[in-house]
Amino acid sequence: MKELKVFLNKFATLAEPDAFVEAFSIIKKIKKKDFLLEPGVNCNYLAFIRKGTFRVFFYDQEGVEVTVWFSWEGMLVGDLLAFYKKSKSIFYVQAIEESELSIISREKLEDLYIVYPDYLQFARKYAEHVSVNVMERLLTLQTKSAEERYLELLETPNFLQKIPLKYLASYIGITDSSLSRIRRNVR
């Protein structure tokens, strides 16, 4: 899997890249709208997206669907919050389109860290990368208007057609009606 090596190399250049690829041994296909995860289940694994797009979401106190994250080809997906907290899953992880995954269990990942301690560099760099991403999103949400947040979102590549607007709206913390109005003004 060349893609997995490319992914790995974004975070650390290691002596045994093949070990990484081998560890992602479970292959899984998921149909559009099907779930990789639902709240309350064990989520002791991460999935590398070979093909497809995912969104991570949950229902808030009032039962409103809140999209918290997207992932595309070449990225990891899963309930990262629960994974790091070692708790049961909190979120739904749903395929937005027909998708293909390579899965690694927490166990195998930890084994990798024991056999090749270098791989801890990957774990570290990946977590740091996640931190940076989430911090930047927090700042955007805390300081920018809905319209600015939408424009910022448009800058991100990958945000082509695949994702329905209502999910994008929720992702930037607004309703779909509001996003629709913003789009009218912007265009």
Partner DNA sequence: CGCCGAGTTGAACTGAATCAAGAAACGTGG
Partner DNA sequence: CCACGTTTCTTGATTCAGTTCAACTCGGCG
**Which residues form the interface with a copy of itself (CB under 8 A)?**
60-61, 66, 68, 80-81, 84-85, 117-118, 120-121, 123-124, 127-132, 134-139, 141-143, 173
Whole-Å CA distances, 81 to 69, 88, 120, 145 = 11, 10, 19, 26
CB-nearer residue toward a copy of itself: 39 or 100: 39
Shortest CB 31 distance to a copy of itself, Å = 28
User: What is the dihedral angle through the alpha carbons of 113, 114, 118, 124, rounded to the nearest 10 degrees?
Assistant: 30
Site for DNA contains 160 (CB under 7 A): no
To which residue do tokens 């309350």 refer?
40
Evaluate whether 4 touches 20 at the Cβ level (below 8 Å).
Answer: yes
Give which of a copy of itself, DNA, none residue 145 binds (C-beta under 5 to 8 Å, depending on kind).
DNA
Q: Which two tokens stand for residue 102?
A: 């390579």
Q: Which does 121 bind (CB under 5 to 8 A by kind): a copy of itself, DNA, none?
A: a copy of itself
List the single partner that 134 binds among DNA, a copy of itself, none, CB under 5 to 8 Å by kind: a copy of itself
Is the torsion defined by CA of 21, 29, 87, 105 positive or negative? Answer: negative
